[in-house]
Structures are given as structure tokens and as C-alpha cells.
Amino acid sequence: MKRILFLFLLFSAFFVQINAQNIEIYPTNWWVGMKWHNVQLLVKADKEGLNKQEVSIKYPGVSITKVHQLDNSKYLAIDVAIAPTAKAGNVAISFTEGGKTTNVQWPLKPRRKGMGTEFAKGVNSSDFIYFLMPDRFSNGDTSNDKIAGMRDQSLNRDSIYLRHGGDLKGVINHLDYLQSLGVTTLWMTPVLENDMPNRTEHGYAFTNHYKIDPRYGGSEAYKKLSDALHQRGMKLIQDAVYNHVGSYHFTFLDQPTKDWFHQWPTYTGTSFKDQPLFDPYGSKKDAKITTDGWFVPQMPDLNHNNPYVANFLIQHALWCVEEFGVDGWRIDTYIYNDMDFMNRCNKALTDEYPAMTMFGENWVHGVINQSYFVQNNLNIPKKSNLQGSVDFQTLFYGIQPALNEKFGWTEGVTKLYNTLAQDLVYKDATRNVIFLDNHDMTRFFTTVKGDVEKQKMGIEWLLTCRGIPQLYYGTEILMAGESNPDGLVRLDFAGGWQGDKKNAFTGAGLSADEKSVQDLIKKLGTYRLTSSALKTGKLMQYLPDDGLYVYFRYDTNQTVMCVMNTSEKNKTVNFNNYSERTSGFTKATDVLTNNNLGSQFTIAAKRMLVLQLGK
């Protein structure tokens, strides 16, 4: 009899276990007092039949307005209204079928304090952005180098395509270093969970929007980094990806609806062409391939016209700002997103966080092309509300040819002048982010063929031109590398790993040239912190003359004269040739050396001077 009873109890326990359901809710929590108070929950069960269950909420101030059945019976979309009277607490959401109920606790939190002053502050031309890859910057916690159960178990610093072990603790450990460069803002490649089988070092193939990758330290490490930045008066930019996810994302492995992703009869990649989106003579077919084609086979393309997808992405953006204290967004692969969706998403962020700013990766060729994707002065039927762009034009058609081409009517530094002259198409060109290199392209030191003086000129331009300067990690110590075919633009930062022979944080082992470039950034970056002209002043540029390019940054309090000599010979500079900006000034003080050059001076070939004018 005891044996029969035992078997019955064992069978009963087994029956309950196999019929139990695990339910996940996204967003994983929300907050009281949000403007976005009508939240659409994406609910996922680990077995079919969720759409047959009755859903209820009994919590003061929180109610269900609609339950949506999706194509996949493992999912539901639940519209929840949060009243202004609702208090923080755990909202019990009940799922009932056949007399059996599963209760899931959904946290409703008090809001983060300090919106617009301590977080969600936005990024502007007063800032100086440092951009790094967490896996390649510094390993502060070796215990998270590998995480059991994750698909990518690689750890080999000798391979550019495998993980190296850098993490958020490593970044926290070196915030003093960033500040010594004059940096005010940190931008990193994505930190969300990237549980793909390989090539996970870059982070752009999300597999769960609501988890921070544990190999970086997880959500607690991300919060600690955010807090550490804000305690120093610094800012945090998050890298957002709306266009695609990784092929191991839970919504791709088990799709909520048939049209969650753009589907094609056979694999169709984007053409990477932006022109069909604004071409007055373009075809709809070409435009569709641009936006709906997949970026790569491992990154399924999200369908922004699906309202559930749109809500999922918008709410995730709001969630990240509130949960982690994000100050601004860099938006990946912006041109491949649906513009109507992006306008809606950008507006949701600024409605909730008025000081929030966003800039997009618009890797296009041409000022008109780039301006189409941001707030502009163009008379066109469809307008973007994106505030700024990663400024590929001042890179490709500006500083690169300025330093690498001989001067000519349309060549060399004339291209830089001409590109900036077209700023009239932007609503506010100072919101564009200017840069010399990044994780996807050949490093600047390689682009200028290892010329240290050209590297310095590029950096001096970066920190004095209009816009928001962004420095890619390692540019300050002459890191080199081609983007293709070897991908050596993502090497480890010297000193970020125990046992490194060279340490850029302390200066140990740096060559004289490496140290001189690092010192240049420290001096000019620190100077920029208190220079009203460089941070928010106006720009006036003069036509380049035989390779000599002179421009000014100025306001009512300060005038900075920038002199770039791209020619092969020394040049004489006289205030009289620039009287609109030099009138009343009698001296020019070199910001880097503190030497007074007077109102007439000589600048050596292949050199740049940054001068503060005085009377």
C-alpha cells in the first residue's frame, strides 16, 4: 500500500511539473508616474496555449484594457493602463485555465530621481565622447570571462574574432584616465545580451533586450558604471539597434507573429543604398530592399510596421533610460530603419525625457544624403526628427582628403572647406558627431600612413571643429589597423589586461610618439572643457589658400584661431588677412605650448596651430 501511495505521489508531482508553465513578461517592469503609462506587455510562455488563458490584474491603479492573441499561441500582448494614482509595488498578473492559475509578479517601481540633471541629460557640442568596445578595453573581473551555458565559450586574445574578456568593471576602473583626456561622455558598443555562437565581441546581434550581457558583468555592473559616470558629472550614451536582432534572439527562434520580421521568398540582403529612400525618381522596389532587406544572414530584419514590434522596441528604449540612467542614444544602422517608426520612437524618448538626444549612424556619401536622415532645412515630403548624425561627410570628404591629398581647386583641404560650407542643409549641424575612426573602419593612423604629425593635425581638427567630437579608443596612442580583410581595428587597449607590457593608463612602455599624441589630447581636451568658443561658439572659415586653411571658433567671450597648413612648405600668417575675426586682437597664444606668437607668425609645413587670441 505504501508503495502504491508513493508511486501515486511521484506521478502527481511529475504531472504538476510537466504541466507547470514558465511565463516571461517584457518589459520586465515599469514605473509609476511615466508619461508612457499605457504599456503593452509581451508575454511569453514556454509551451503552447497561453492564448487560451484568462488574464487578470488586481492592483489599485493598474488595469487591463485589451488582450491581443498573437499568431503563436505561446504569446500574448496585453495592454495595461497605469493610473496616476498607482503606487509602486508588485503587480500580480494572473493566468487562468481550467481552474488552474499561474501568478506572475510584475514590478512597478518608483521613478529614478534627477531626470535631466543627473541622467537623461542629453549630449551636445560641449561634450567630448570616448568610444570603446568593452571586450577590448580592460578586463576588470576575470571571473566573468566565460559564462557557463552561453553559446560562445571562446577566450583568446590572439584572435581578433574571439572574446578577449574586457568588461564594465574594467571601464569603471579607468574613468580617471578618460577624464584626464578631457572626456565628458562614454559611448560603448552594445552591452545587451549577445548569446550568439560566435563573433560576439561587437555586441550588435542582441538575443534578449532585457538582459545585460553577463560577460560584461550584467545589469548590476552597468548600473554601477552609470552611477560612477554621473557622480563625476559625466554622461552615458547607449548604442541602440532597432533594425535587427541576432538570429538566436528569443523572438526569432520562437516568433510571436508571422510578420515579426521581414520575410522574403529567398534570402534578400539590403542593398546598402540610401538613395532610393529620397530619390524623386526612385522605385519603391529599391526602397523596400534598402529598408526591409537583412543586414546580414545572422541578423534578422525587424518589421517596424508590425505594431507589436514597434511597441516592444520603443518601450525597451524608455526602459533603458529609466533603468540604467542613460543620457543619450547612438542609433545603429539608422538608414535601414523605417523613418515613420524612428520618428515615433525618437519622439517617445524626448516626450518622456525632454533633454534626451539621439544621433544616428548614417553611413552615406554626400551631405544631402546625410541631411535627409536628420532634422534638416530641405523642402521634402517626409522629414526626420533625428537631431544629429554620425558625420561621415566631414571624415570622408573632409579631414581625410585634407591630410592625404595635394591641394587643388576641389582637392585636399578644399574638400573640408566645401563640406562644411554645405551645413546650411542641417537644422543644427553642431549636433552632428565628428570623428576620425571607429570599430568598423580603418584606423586613422593607418589612413594617414603612419604619419604622426598628420595624426596630431587630425586630432586638433577633431577638438576644434563644429559638432560633437568622438574619439575611438586607442587613437590617442597611435593604434593602427586595416578594417579589411584582417579586422585589426579592434585590438586590445594597452594596459587593460594584467601582464600587458605596455600600459597606456600609466604611460609605461609608450613610445615617445605615442606619449606625445596622448599628451596632445590631454592638453587640448582639457582646454576644451573650459573653452566656450570651442564648445558652443560659432564657426567662421576662410577659403583655403595654397594648402593653408584658417578657421575661427568664437563667441562674445573668446576667440580661437585654428590654422592648418596642409602644404609642403612653411606659411606666413598675418592677422590682417582675417580682420573680420582678428580685429582688436594683437596676440595669439598657442594653446598647447602657451607661447605668444603675436599678430604675424610662421607655421611649419604639415602642422596645425590652435591659438587663443588676446589683446
How confident is the model over 328-352, as pLDDT tens digits? Answer: 999 999 999 999 999 999 999 999 9
Nearest to 471 by CA among 525, 510, 428, 519: 525
Tell which residue, 447, 465, 292, 288, has the closest CA to residue 391. 465
DSSP 72: S
For the cut 60, the answer to whether the pLDDT of residue 541 exceeds it is: yes
Take residue 571 and report the three cell numbers written for it. 606659411
Residue range 537-614, CATH number: 2.60.40.1180
pLDDT at 492 over 80: yes
Whether the ω angle into residue 27 lies within 30 degrees of 0, i.e. cis, is yes
Cis peptide preceding 60, ω within 30 of 0? no
Burial (Cβ within 10 Å: 0-12, 13-18, ≥19) of residue 224: middle
- As annotated, the residues of the chain forming the CATH 3.20.20.80 domain(s) are 129-535
Crossing angle of helices 307-324 and 218-231, rounded to 10°: 60
**How far apart, in whole angstroms, are the C-alpha atoms of residue 282 and residue 369?**
14
Grid coordinates of 313:
522596441
CATH of 129-535, one of 3.30.540.10, 3.40.50.720, 3.20.20.140, 3.20.20.80: 3.20.20.80
Q: What is the pLDDT of residues 21-75, one digit of tens each?
A: 899 999 999 999 999 999 999 999 999 999 999 999 999 999 999 999 999 999 9
Using CA atoms, how far apart are residues 572 and 603, in angstroms rounded to an integer? 6
Query: Domain 21-109: which CATH class?
Result: mainly beta
Backbone torsions φ then ψ of 136, nearest 5 degrees: -120, 5
Mean pLDDT of the chain: 96
Residues 87, 218, 150: CA angle, nearest 5 degrees: 125
Q: Any idea which residues carry the catalytic annotation?
A: 332, 361
Contact 335, 364 (CB under 8 A): yes
Confidence of residue 477 (pLDDT cuts 50, 70, 90): very high
Q: What is the mean pLDDT of residues 573-581?
A: 98
**Numbered ranges of CATH 2.60.40.10 in the chain:** 21-109
Measured over the CA atoms of residue 343, residue 348, residue 354 and residue 360, the dihedral's sign is: negative
Return residue ranges of the chain for CATH 2.60.40.1180: 537-614
Say if pTM beats, i.e. exceeds, 0.75. Answer: yes
